[in-house]
Structure 1
Amino acid sequence: MNTETSQPTPGGEGCLAGAFRIPVKIVALLVVLPVRVVWELLAALGRLLYRHVLRPFSTYILEPVLRALGRLVTTLVKLVFVWPWVGLWRYLLRPVGSWLYTYLLAPVGRVLYGYVLRPLALLTWRYVLVPVGRALIWLAEAAYRYLLRPLYRHVLTPLGRAVAWAWHVAGLITAALWRAFKWTGRILIGWPATQVYRYLLTPVGHLARAVWRPVRDAAREVRAEVRRALFGAPPVEPTRSRARTLGSTTAAGNTPAPEISLHERQG
């Protein structure tokens, strides 16, 4: 007897869903298919219209018309805003300016330069600048001759020499005072301090050291006795020599090293 129950297939659909799927597909087919057909027809019509109507119209009609309009607008702008000013400058202002410069400004300028500016400049140079320059040169020479040179010769030079002599004398006096100060310090401080150190502090130091050593040794012995009485005597380890021969475990002086065997020590 087969006791296994049938399990529904994963992802399977029931009868109700299957019954609704067929009408939905039919409706979708009836609605979507005409829309898709109409869309494709419109797209084909649009491509056909662009290829055979709009692009030829733009290429052969619209672009030439726009280029012609652009040239027309450019010509109108030049005609209204450029060519009048160019003509005004070329045929009126430049000839008038050239005529004015040739027959009015240049003669007036030559007259002004020849009869006004040049004589005025010559008068100014001859009767103003040259006398003022000469006066300044004379004042500079007079100031140097009667003021600066006597001041340097009779005031600054002696003053500099006096300052140099005073500086030298002050150096000599300072050196003498420093030698006197050192001699006084050596006599009043150095020599007494040396004598006190030699004949007083040194014997006292030797005496204190001679007294301090027995006291220190006695204090150490008392401390060792007190420690031995309180805590007992520490174990005495045998003195080991640190000097060994190279490559040998036997210390110098035939003293057995810590790592020598018991048989070797007894031997």
Structure 2
Amino acid sequence: MDMERALPAPQGDGCLVGVVRVPVKIVAVLVVLPLRVVWDLLVAFARMLNRSVLGPLGRASAWLYERALLPVLRGTGWLIGALFKLAFYWPWVGLWRYVMLPVGQAAYAYLLKPVGVGIWRYLLVPFWEYGLLPAGRGIAWLLVGTVRYLLVLPGGALYRYVLTPVGHALRWLARGFAAGAAWLAKALFVWPWAALWRYLVRPVVTGVWQYLLAPGGRGVWAYLLVPFWGVVVGAWHVAGRVSRALGRGLVWWWRWGVVRPAGWVRRRVVTPVGNVLRAGWAAGRRVARSVHRQAVAPVGRAVGEVWRTTRLAVREARADVRRAVFGGPPREPARSQARTLGSNRAAGDAPAPEISLHK
């Protein structure tokens, strides 16, 4: 019912639209809806992957590049540049600066410049001023006079009275020939094709377009492509709604099938049982502490007293044996110095030192 409400109501379409719409609906339900569900799952997984893996990985890669790789590359570049300068640049700079340049300057200043100045001043300048310049001036005057009387005057007359009329005649002849060739080319190649296009091709093409292609294209667009596109768009939106409904259903099932029962079990079963166990554990600890204070501690203290008295007796026996074997002054028994159980005085009513377990 939701899919039928989502689709637009029919507007009096023809039977072709009705025949196309049913297969499109079937394809939309069997193909578009699963594709839309898979698309939504892929989008959710891609967003989760971007938040959990790709984003932190990209930030870690950027941090590693900025903090570790880039300083290493810069240091390597600086080291390579320094080694290159030390091995190739500075030796040639030193050779040029401290050997070749001073030698070249000295050779130019003390050898080439004086020799060149002497050759220019005392050889070339006099030869130019007193030899080449007068000879060149005379040869130039002779050539100009000869050319003027032999070429310029006859050439001017020839150009004015012969070449100019012949040139004008050739220009008019060329213009007439070009005009005739252009007219012939138009008559042979332009006008027939222009007439063919104007009176045959253009009317046929115009008629085919106006009465065949344009109506057919409008009919295909209006009665086939537009309804098909509308049905596809509606199916896509319906698939989206169904996908969202499935998602909401899964969320509702998870909430009412897992989360709410688990919460009820925690509140009604786990928490009371835990409270009972905690109360029992606390009561057991209190009982154990009471038993320890009232029974175990006194017994322990009595056992300690007995153990200490036994140790003292053993020590006295060892001392008596040592004195009997090796000799020595008599000694008062140590037990007279020990206090009896539950008393602060020794057996001989003399004050005895504290030897209890607790200080």
Query: What range is the shorter-chain TM-score in?
Result: 0.3 to 0.5
Question: What TM-score results when the alignment is normalised by the length of structure 1?
Answer: 0.39
Question: What TM-score results when the alignment is normalised by the length of structure 2?
Answer: 0.31
Higher percent of residues as helix: 2
For the pair shown, which has the larger CA radius of gyration, 1 or 2? 1
